[in-house]
Chains A and B, each alone.
Chain A
């Protein structure tokens, strides 16, 4: 047994360990550089079609949880300014995305805005007809002879019209009045049924201590996609990578919000500062079944649904021109995303 050899052996082992540690550190450093430091963030704008609220939870989460950043994006989430349409804002902007209803998008397309949906958030339209529990109104057929409160300017108005049309119910047999968004007419008994959003008005009734019967209009063949995410054809054409990265982060944000609703609510409140936690939470909670019901991919769009939306708007005279449905939306980025995700 040679002491010298043993010592040499030990020294070699120790040296190897040190070298190994350095190598590991170096490799890790390399990874850190690659992920964070080297790419400057791309500044883009996301124009919302409403004030900050839970409706856009996925976007906030993607921003706050760093999903946008991870994809090299610095997203400025801009709430609706009530001066110009979202379509205008997006087409005006340099690198802009927008959130608005499928109907709005179809209208904007007809108005000539070169925009395209890249994903749908609200697959099921939140549009409902709600009545107080005791009114025994269960189906649209029960509207006959009743007073219906219609929220003017909301897309529920023409959804209602489309539904009645579809169900062949003669609206002359129904008294239709204009109501606000505060459900006070329903609570006051001025109307038997009111249009509204499932994520909002029925909750207000509930808060007022009453139960509601809710008729989801999409159950009656008049579903129309709610919020969709869109951008300009120009960006889609020239900057598909940016679109992919934005979409990916947005969907991740939404999935995260769906899975972590409490945390998502906290994030929402950073934007919707004036709102209450409960309110935003309930919006989010109620939105989730409309966004993702587990029977299709998050954000996925079907041509039939776009067709249906177009049909409804055309039927209501909101749109008048024939349209190529395939120009309105694209699932190429969704497909890429899910194929990649599944890979």
Chain B
């Protein structure tokens, strides 16, 4: 069940006020009840008090009057005479006189004189004379003092009387007899039945010590001295003489009442009134109270409803607006509704809406931005995809054999060029080891490639041999580049092969040609050199300075040509495969010194510093002195050539034990190590793979050093490779290079079929 706020407020206020009103009514009702109870009790109490007092007073008056009469001399005298037997019994003179003198003679029924034997000796009522009253309390109790005996019942006369009896004493104070007066109880009865302030059901009556009712009851006629009342409170009242007792139940009737002990008449005065009568006016207010409550309920419900409405109305306005906002209408206008919490809510809502709008707008912009970005990147992606497609198709369809392999040598891709070249289809080779296409003696290259690539380098145009499907070996140049994943980790390599069989053949032919040509050049050049020397020495007549100058120029050019031819001869010798070591024992230190001496002019000219680290205890080296010298020359001259003016060249010549490091490599056997490092221009990274290629010259030196054949390092490499040594370098462009060369300490020896 869903209760709207309005209903809730209505119910809450209605219930609250109704409950409060009910409680108030109950409290009022109880208060009213208590008040009227209290009022009634007070009234009854005072009535019973007054009546009791009245009766006491009444009886007291009779007693006083009786005693007063007895004080009268003539009466006293007459009574004494009578009691002493001096008067005649029948003489009613004295009792008549007493009656005459008695102030309340209307109430006086009888006056008797009783002698000390209890015999009535004189009475207004003749029949009384002679009766024996010796056992009557009003006689034997009145020996000393006046006593009052209430409600004495006379069987014969059926009179209920109050008897006041007082002793008659002579002058000596001796009791001679008793004077008894019968007084009717009408007075007392009247007092008790007087109904002032007692309403419809209220009454007062007396109960004597034997629990008999002694005055008329309101509802029960003829109950005097017949009806007994045994109620706990009345019993208590009759047994105690000090207090009054509250009566609340009178034989099943709920009453307010009191039982008050009246000592003078040995009776209990009961005053009571039906509770019903007292409470009726209170109870009669009940319908009024209920209608009052109903009116309150209606009014408060209405009031609650009104308040609910007045609270709800702005809330509803806000709600409808909030719904609009929810539905997406951010242009809702929120006006201030009221200056209270709801107003605050409206303000907050308004602010919220404003912020929402801003956020929304910002969001829109951002979405637009993102969309554009997304589009861009999508285009890029498309582009790159198409590019990739393009690239991959280039690769796929290239005539050059291109394939990729992982670092372990497993083939991952295989283009059509590779297929055509090797005769293996992609399906045949992908997933298999690249060893399929490598001759057994070149397997080590797989490890080497991995090593080089993982060290961050590329392999450019490395010449080697590969095996086709039909088993034929082909000379190829391979270029290997790393394949990196998105995290820049090298996962594999791409290999581009170049069939260099033709190149080789051309090379060979060229080499042969060069070799022949060089040989042919060498002789005339030598002759030329020889004749120029002679001319310069003046052997053929004196020459003038100008001639000398020209001749010197020719001599320099001739020397260069001789050097070039020498180089070419060396290379051709190497390339021709006619590699023969001319083994001898020689001192490397001397050799180094000699080479440096040769270079001295350039060193001095360029103000270079040569820092040598040399093991002076190097043993004699066994090898080809000429070739070794060539190596030293090449490396050192390169260093000198490419080191800027004032640079420092470090030269190291030492023996390295097995397991020790040389440069960045670990030496695998006891070796002779030679290294040259220069702070020169260095070799561009992209060309480092081709450093040892024949006729290779790095781009950055081609311009600055137009001279140079590009054969020096080729020769170094060739010699080292073919004589059991190894050579490598580290280089960084514009920072310099370092070349390392190792030979087994045992010396050089021809390495077979390395090509």
**Chain A residues with a Cβ under 8 A of chain B:** 1, 3, 124, 138-141, 166-167, 198, 213-216, 218-221, 223, 255, 258-259, 288-290, 292-298, 304, 341-343
* B residues in contact with A296, CB < 8 Å: 210
Q: Choose one: A124, A221, A298, A342; the contact of B155 (CB below 8 Å).
A: A124
Check B158–A343 contact: CB distance below 8 A.
Answer: no
Distance, CA A289 to CA B212, complexed state (A) = 13
* Given A3-B1, A294-B153, A295-B153: A138 touches B127 (CB 8 Å cut-off): yes
Which of the 9-residue segments B224-232, B502-510, B605-613 touches chain A? B224-232
* B residues in contact with A295, CB < 8 Å: 151-153, 208, 210, 212, 225
Which of the 9-residue segments B130-138, B164-172, B243-251, B742-750 touches chain A? B130-138
Give the most central of A139, A298, A341: most B CB within 10 Å: A139
The chain B residue with its CB closest to the CB of A292 is B226
* A residues in contact with B129, CB < 8 Å: 139
Check B156–A219 contact: CB distance below 8 A.
Answer: yes
Check B225–A294 contact: CB distance below 8 A.
Answer: yes
Please tell me the number of chain B residues within 8 Å of chain A, measured between CB atoms.
33
The 3 closest A-B pairs by CB, nearest first: A294-B225, A221-B132, A294-B212
* B residues in contact with A223, CB < 8 Å: 135
Shortest distance from the beta carbon of B551 to any chain A beta carbon, whole Å:
128
Check A167–B130 contact: CB distance below 8 A.
Answer: yes
Check A342–B152 contact: CB distance below 8 A.
Answer: no
Check B130–A288 contact: CB distance below 8 A.
Answer: no
**Chain B residues with a Cβ under 8 A of chain A:** 1, 3, 118, 126-127, 129-132, 134-135, 151-153, 155-156, 158, 208, 210-212, 214, 223-228, 230, 232, 235, 238-239
* B residues in contact with A221, CB < 8 Å: 118, 132, 134-135
* Given A1-B1, A342-B235: A220 touches B131 (CB 8 Å cut-off): yes
The chain B residue with its CB closest to the CB of A137 is B127
Distance, CA A343 to CA B134, complexed state (A) = 33
* A residues in contact with B155, CB < 8 Å: 124, 198, 216, 218, 289-290, 293
* A residues in contact with B134, CB < 8 Å: 221
* B residues in contact with A198, CB < 8 Å: 155
* A residues in contact with B208, CB < 8 Å: 294-295
Shortest distance from the beta carbon of A59 to any chain B beta carbon, whole Å:
18
For the complex with contacts A124-B155, A294-B153, 6 further pairs of A-B residues with Cβ separation under 8 Å are A141-B130, A167-B130, A259-B228, A296-B210, A342-B238, A342-B239
* B residues in contact with A258, CB < 8 Å: 226
Distance, CA A298 to CA B225, complexed state (A) = 11
* A residues in contact with B214, CB < 8 Å: 294
Q: Choose one: B1, B156, B158, B230; the contact of A342 (CB below 8 Å).
A: B230
Check B235–A343 contact: CB distance below 8 A.
Answer: yes
The chain B residue with its CB closest to the CB of A218 is B155
Check B226–A288 contact: CB distance below 8 A.
Answer: yes
Q: Could you write out 28 A-B pairs with CB less than 8 Å apart? A: A124-B155, A138-B126, A138-B127, A139-B129, A167-B130, A213-B127, A219-B131, A220-B130, A220-B131, A220-B132, A221-B134, A259-B226, A290-B155, A292-B226, A293-B153, A294-B151, A294-B153, A294-B212, A294-B226, A295-B151, A295-B152, A295-B208, A295-B210, A296-B210, A297-B210, A298-B228, A341-B230, A342-B230
Shortest distance from the beta carbon of A175 to any chain B beta carbon, whole Å:
21
The chain B residue with its CB closest to the CB of A213 is B127
Tell me whether chain B's interface is mostly helix, strand or loop, or mixed.
loop
* B residues in contact with A1, CB < 8 Å: 1, 3
* B residues in contact with A216, CB < 8 Å: 155-156
* B residues in contact with A304, CB < 8 Å: 135
* A residues in contact with B153, CB < 8 Å: 289, 293-295
Check A293–B225 contact: CB distance below 8 A.
Answer: yes
Check A139–B127 contact: CB distance below 8 A.
Answer: yes
Shortest distance from the beta carbon of A156 to any chain B beta carbon, whole Å:
16
The chain B residue with its CB closest to the CB of A136 is B126
Shortest distance from the beta carbon of B11 to any chain A beta carbon, whole Å:
9
- The total of Cβ contacts below 8 Å across the A-B interface reads 80
Shortest distance from the beta carbon of A342 to any chain B beta carbon, whole Å:
4
* A residues in contact with B212, CB < 8 Å: 292, 294-295
* A residues in contact with B132, CB < 8 Å: 166, 219-221
* B residues in contact with A167, CB < 8 Å: 130
Shortest distance from the beta carbon of A330 to any chain B beta carbon, whole Å:
20
Q: Choose one: B130, B210, B230; the contact of A294 (CB below 8 Å).
A: B210
The chain A residue with its CB closest to the CB of B212 is A294
Shortest distance from the beta carbon of A180 to any chain B beta carbon, whole Å:
24
Give the most central of B1, B131, B134, B152: most A CB within 10 Å: B131
The chain A residue with its CB closest to the CB of B134 is A221
Check B156–A292 contact: CB distance below 8 A.
Answer: no
Distance, CA A293 to CA B149, complexed state (A) = 14
The chain B residue with its CB closest to the CB of A128 is B156
Distance, CA A45 to CA B131, complexed state (A) = 40
Distance, CA A139 to CA B156, complexed state (A) = 13
Check A292–B230 contact: CB distance below 8 A.
Answer: no
* A residues in contact with B230, CB < 8 Å: 341-342
Check B225–A292 contact: CB distance below 8 A.
Answer: yes
Give the most central of A139, A290, A293, A304: most B CB within 10 Å: A293
* B residues in contact with A343, CB < 8 Å: 232, 235
Check B223–A259 contact: CB distance below 8 A.
Answer: yes
Shortest distance from the beta carbon of A299 to any chain B beta carbon, whole Å:
11
Shortest distance from the beta carbon of A264 to any chain B beta carbon, whole Å:
12
Give the most central of B3, B118, B156, B239: most A CB within 10 Å: B156
* B residues in contact with A255, CB < 8 Å: 228
Q: Choose one: A213, A289, A292, A297; the contact of B158 (CB below 8 Å).
A: A289
Shortest distance from the beta carbon of B244 to any chain A beta carbon, whole Å:
18
Shortest distance from the beta carbon of A167 to any chain B beta carbon, whole Å:
7
* A residues in contact with B226, CB < 8 Å: 258-259, 288, 292, 294
Check B1–A294 contact: CB distance below 8 A.
Answer: no
Distance, CA A124 to CA B127, complexed state (A) = 18
The chain B residue with its CB closest to the CB of A257 is B226
* B residues in contact with A215, CB < 8 Å: 127
Distance, CA A342 to CA B232, complexed state (A) = 7
The chain A residue with its CB closest to the CB of B125 is A138
Q: Choose one: B130, B152, B227, B232; the contact of A140 (CB below 8 Å).
A: B130
Distance, CA A294 to CA B225, complexed state (A) = 4
Shortest distance from the beta carbon of B711 to any chain A beta carbon, whole Å:
104
Distance, CA A56 to CA B153, complexed state (A) = 22
Distance, CA A218 to CA B144, complexed state (A) = 26
Distance, CA A180 to CA B157, complexed state (A) = 27
Give the most central of A138, A198, A288: most B CB within 10 Å: A138
Check A294–B224 contact: CB distance below 8 A.
Answer: yes
* A residues in contact with B211, CB < 8 Å: 297, 342
Distance, CA A216 to CA B208, complexed state (A) = 25
Distance, CA A198 to CA B230, complexed state (A) = 31
Shortest distance from the beta carbon of A202 to any chain B beta carbon, whole Å:
10
* B residues in contact with A140, CB < 8 Å: 130
Shortest distance from the beta carbon of A10 to any chain B beta carbon, whole Å:
16
Shortest distance from the beta carbon of B185 to any chain A beta carbon, whole Å:
12
Shortest distance from the beta carbon of B685 to any chain A beta carbon, whole Å:
83
* A residues in contact with B227, CB < 8 Å: 259
Distance, CA A293 to CA B153, complexed state (A) = 6
Distance, CA A140 to CA B239, complexed state (A) = 41
Distance, CA A290 to CA B158, complexed state (A) = 11
* B residues in contact with A259, CB < 8 Å: 223, 226-228
* B residues in contact with A124, CB < 8 Å: 155
* A residues in contact with B238, CB < 8 Å: 342
The chain A residue with its CB closest to the CB of B117 is A221
The chain A residue with its CB closest to the CB of B223 is A259
Distance, CA A289 to CA B158, complexed state (A) = 8
* B residues in contact with A219, CB < 8 Å: 131-132, 156
Distance, CA A289 to CA B224, complexed state (A) = 11
Check A139–B239 contact: CB distance below 8 A.
Answer: no
* B residues in contact with A292, CB < 8 Å: 212, 225-226
Shortest distance from the beta carbon of B347 to any chain A beta carbon, whole Å:
33
Distance, CA A297 to CA B228, complexed state (A) = 10
Distance, CA A139 to CA B90, complexed state (A) = 12
Shortest distance from the beta carbon of A162 to any chain B beta carbon, whole Å:
12
* B residues in contact with A214, CB < 8 Å: 156
